[in-house]
Amino acid sequence: MIAILDATPDNPIPGYPVAGFFDGVGNRKIRYAIFKTKARFARGTVVLLQGRNESIEKYFETIGDFMEAGYWVATFDWRGQGGSERLLAQSTLGHVEYFADYGRDLMTFLEQIVLPDTRLPFSIVAHSMGALVCLSVAPALATRVDRMVLLAPFVGLGGQVIGEPGIVAVAAVMRWLGLGRLPLHRDGRSHGPFTNNPLTRDADRYARNLALLETHPRLSLGPPTARWLNEAFRTIRRVTRREHLTRITVPTVLLAPTADGLVPYVAIERLASNFRAGHLIPIDGARHELLQEADRYRAQAMAAILAFLPQAEAGEDDESRQFLQRRAS
């Protein structure tokens, strides 16, 4: 099996990455890629973790920004989505047997790919579902990563017709009835029209991401299954408990868009209130996908990330330093 990264005219591949597969839980093939900075002295490695229904390709712009700032980037597609092995015969359904499998895949990636093949220090930048996975294994990350940045962490669900309690109940009943591999709804669209979308205010980035899926439909994913939802909500309940959060010692920044239509801001605020190692930074007016947002919001998120990541103690080159200064201004 050959790992291929897909591009479009508006979304070119940054640099000359190394791409491949590693074996996740159950020997599932997980696609990964490593991007190396052109800077003379690498400042470290960013482990970039996506949300649900995303792929490596969606983050080419952000990966390019980290590379320009002097960082390597190591990233992979979660099992069942992007270019990784799908888990059901109906491959467009978002499914997972156990949410813990995501965490085990992440730990395998850190141990088998990141540790031997990239540059210290290591930091995690994770969006939405990726941030939830990161939170679930965070107590075990203290000896592996120096910093974590969690963007719009998926710790609650808003914008739904029947509300989060109703979805939690329906997903649990469907799983109990043996219907866990069915979706709660059958709308297979990964993206709707730009108008009133909950993800971003940036029409160009939204169109770019839609064109990527239309050009390379193998990257698309439809609605989640009842089992996926049930597993996700179980994980949310576990990681938002104070006893779990107090076991996390990795310094963490929580970037919370205040106009997020998918993850309520109050849910992230509540998480932060019990998270001793976490510091909440609101991005006022931004929607869910901070790294796909309009420049006025995305620039705030990137500036906060780059200011928080570990700084090179020696050998920092002028090109990287000037880039950081531009982002912070």
| pLDDT (0 to 100) of residue 329 | 47
**Residue of 51, 73, 47 whose CA lies nearest to 60:** 73
Q: Is the pLDDT of residue 314 over 70?
A: no
Q: Is the pLDDT of residue 322 over 70?
A: no
Helices (H), the chain: 60-68, 100-109, 115-117, 129-137, 163-176, 203-215, 226-239, 242-245, 265-273, 295-308, 318-328
Q: Is the pLDDT of residue 126 over 80?
A: yes
Overall residue count recorded for the chain in this entry: 329
| pLDDT (0 to 100) of residue 310 | 86
| pLDDT (0 to 100) of residue 96 | 97
Question: Where exactly are the structural domains of the chain?
Answer: 18-323
Q: Is the pLDDT of residue 316 over 90?
A: no
Q: Is the pLDDT of residue 109 over 60?
A: yes
18-323: CATH homologous superfamily? Alpha/Beta hydrolase fold, catalytic domain (3.40.50.1820)
- pLDDT above 70 as % of the chain: 92
User: Letter for the amino acid at 107?
Assistant: M
**Residue of 46, 36, 34, 39 whose CA lies nearest to 70:** 39
pTM (2 decimals)?
Answer: 0.93
Token output for 150: 């969690």
